[in-house]
Chains A and B, each alone.
Chain A
Amino acid sequence: MAVSTPDTIVKGAKTDIPPSVNRRWALGFLVAAIVTYVFYAFVVPNLGGAGKTFVATWIPAVATNEALVWVICAVGLNIVVGYAGLLDLGFVAFWAIGGYTAGWIMSTFIQAVNPGFYLLSAAYPDQPGIHLNWWLVLIIAACLCAFAGVLIGAPTLRLKSDYLALVTLAFGEIIPQVFLNADRFTNGARGIAPLDNVSALPFGPSAIAIGDVKIPISQPLGPFDTSAKFLLFSIVAAFAIFVSLRIREGRLGRAWLAIREDELAASMMGVPLMRTKLAAYAVGAFMGGLGGVVYAVHTNSVFPDRFTFSISILLLAMIVLGGMGNVWGVMIGALGLAWFNSTGLPQFGFWFNGQFGTEINFPSYSFLILGAILVLMMLFRREGLFPETRTRQILREAERSDAEELDGGEV
């Protein structure tokens, strides 16, 4: 690129979130992850009966791990919806594709491969099927999802907003149905279970001992090693957050913003609409794939009935609640709603029914409550709990040209 005066003073890039803020949040994420790990791995086992019960009731380790899955997927969907402004109602499709990829290449499902193919896997030896190291599976599934995103996006992204939402909704319904009905390839409703055990690293010492607690390294992690899995899932979530923060800056992020602001003007300024939208779709799907694998590892299985429409909606609600476009806000929104949905509401229900002798099935009202929260948000805090600076602009301040048109600015 030719710049005639290279000595022009270059001002610091004005980014949406100042780097210092990002650094503070990143540090916060790191500290929170370590504290959470220490809490579950070291503190909880040594708690007395009451403390243990409280944790198991209100903040079970399983729910914490699952919340990380939601964070990964919400951050991915945020790229499509928050950055590029494309409404996607079928994100669960990528979650499902990621999950089934894990089911295929890290379990005994593909019986035809006998003796089994092992690659740096922590799985039990001497089984049929393909057993890849789970980090590899993450990469493969994510890339496969990105590819699927391009395949789905290529015909659909030509549509304008409302129609795009409808078609993505259809894909979100179709793909889980395909997995349900393609019995031979997916085991149908019986799903794929169990999946291989995973390990932090394929080699090295089995575990590092700190006092009487061991931090597993190459030791296979079973379904009950939740705290060790928490660490692994945190790394994947951190990666997803890192990528979506980085990609926001630079030419691609600007092109997405421009498309979100004014598609026609963006194309007239040399931004290729299809390619740029497809890139958003692919990156979002990539993260959906990561989330799908992490969820499969978390539950140690893949079942088609888990991939419901409500997942797509819940993900959208997380983004809206947290603050569309702002990665950190979306993360908080995802953690909060995931906890509310998996633990908060059911446990509140138990407590309430126990207190008042009622028999209300609280979890069945979760979407009613969620809807009410969203309506209240739209009334009183449309920009979400942690909005990006730009969005705060549009909602809190009058647009200058709008105001000036009133006194005859535009003829």
Chain B
Amino acid sequence: MSADVATGTIPLTASNITVRFGGLLAVNDVSFTVPPASIVSLIGPNGAGKTTFFNVLTGLYRPTTGSVVLNDRNITGQTPHKIASLGLGRTFQNIRLFGLMTAAENVMVAMHSHTTSNIVQIVARTRHQRREEVESRAFAQQMLDFVGIGQHAEEYARNLSYGDQRRLEVARALALRPKVLLLDEPTAGMNPQESAVFVDFVRRVRDEQGVSILLIEHDMSVVMRASERITVLDQGEKIAEGGPEDIRNNPRVVEAYLGRTGTEGSAR
């Protein structure tokens, strides 16, 4: 985490990722880096290949060519649960919490790979198992407190408000103790005020949990305010990369992404 900054380990590097579905080239030779303790964004119009790229990172798709390195380990083609346990946490665009589990239980599920009790230990309720349970619960409470919904720990996830569900997803992902946190359109369905609060929240997550954050986002105001670096995909290819100002003024981006509607880019 903060040690990574000192040693200079790059939390996440994707090199020359190409994904082909039959004749369709969904992602074409995209390279991408998430620097330590940073907030970076991936943007692009619908169908640009963002989601496909995301699914390669999380292990749902195996790239046709290219490799993904997480915290110095090659995770290309690994199973999603393995990648998650190696330090890649994520949230979902359309919230995917475990609705009939409490907020605390949701977070504790993500600690599966950090706990070790086996069937016999669970049935016998050994000292090791009991200690692990107590510690997991304490850690879950800590994560819930951190995202600001500690008072709802014993509430079923499905009964939380929309904003709290978003926060719970972040708490759950943080329980993996990830190096990189992927946020998939986290402000979808939020009004501008809520989005602004969320941007501050994302910064706080980065600063206090020592994770790097990769954001996929449609809301340009959020992208421009939150991210230090932005990568733009269009039709499966990387067309630009740079700071918010560079991207805002990049003619190719304006043309490919903001050009048609025009007003969106300039209004903000």
Contact = CB atoms under 8 A, between A and B. Distances in A.
Given A6-B138, A399-B99, A251 B132 contact: yes
Given A251-B132, A258-B109, A411-B189, A393 B162 contact: no
B17 interface: no
B84 A270 contact: yes
B109 A269 contact: yes
Contact of A265 (B98, B108, B122): B98
A321 B189 CA distance: 40
B158 A393 contact: yes
B96 A273 contact: no
Interface string B143-161: 0000000000110101111
Interface string A397-411: 101110010000111
Chain B interface bracket (under 10, 10 to 19, 20 to 34, 35 or more): 35 or more
Contacts of B266: none
B123 A243 contact: yes
A309 to B, nearest CB: 30
A255 B109 CA distance: 6
Contacts of B175: 269
A112 B231 CA distance: 75
Nearest to A266: B109
A125 to B, nearest CB: 36
Contacts of A273: 81
Interface in A7-32: 8-11, 13-14
Interface in A377-404: 390-391, 393-394, 397, 399-401, 404
Interface string B125-138: 10001001111111
A393 to B, nearest CB: 6
A76 to B, nearest CB: 14
Contact of B113 (A14, A250, A270, A411): A270
What does DSSP make chain A's interface, helix, strand, loop or mixed? helix
A173 B154 CA distance: 44
B267 interface: no
Interface string B180-222: 0000000011000000000000000000000000000000000
Contact of B115 (A1, A10, A400): A1
B101 A261 contact: yes
A4 B100 contact: no
Contacts of B58: 268
Nearest to B132: A1
B117 interface: yes
A11 B153 contact: yes
A226 to B, nearest CB: 30
A333 to B, nearest CB: 21
B96 A254 contact: no
Given A270-B81, A400-B161, A254 B142 contact: no
Given A11-B153, A270-B81, A393-B156, A246 B137 contact: no
Contacts of B108: 251, 254
B135 A264 contact: no
A140 interface: no
B114 interface: yes
Interface string A239-265: 000110011011111110110011011
Given A11-B153, A14-B102, A1 B81 contact: no
A393 B141 CA distance: 23
B109 A271 contact: yes
Nearest to A258: B109
- 3 closest residue pairs by CB, A with B: A270-B113, A261-B98, A270-B84
Given A247-B122, A393-B100, 13 more contacts: A11-B137, A13-B137, A14-B104, A251-B111, A255-B109, A262-B96, A265-B96, A267-B81, A269-B110, A270-B113, A270-B114, A401-B162, A410-B188
Interface of A: 1, 3-6, 8-11, 13-14, 242-243, 246-247, 249-255, 257-258, 261-262, 264-273, 279, 283, 390-391, 393-394, 397, 399-401, 404, 409-411
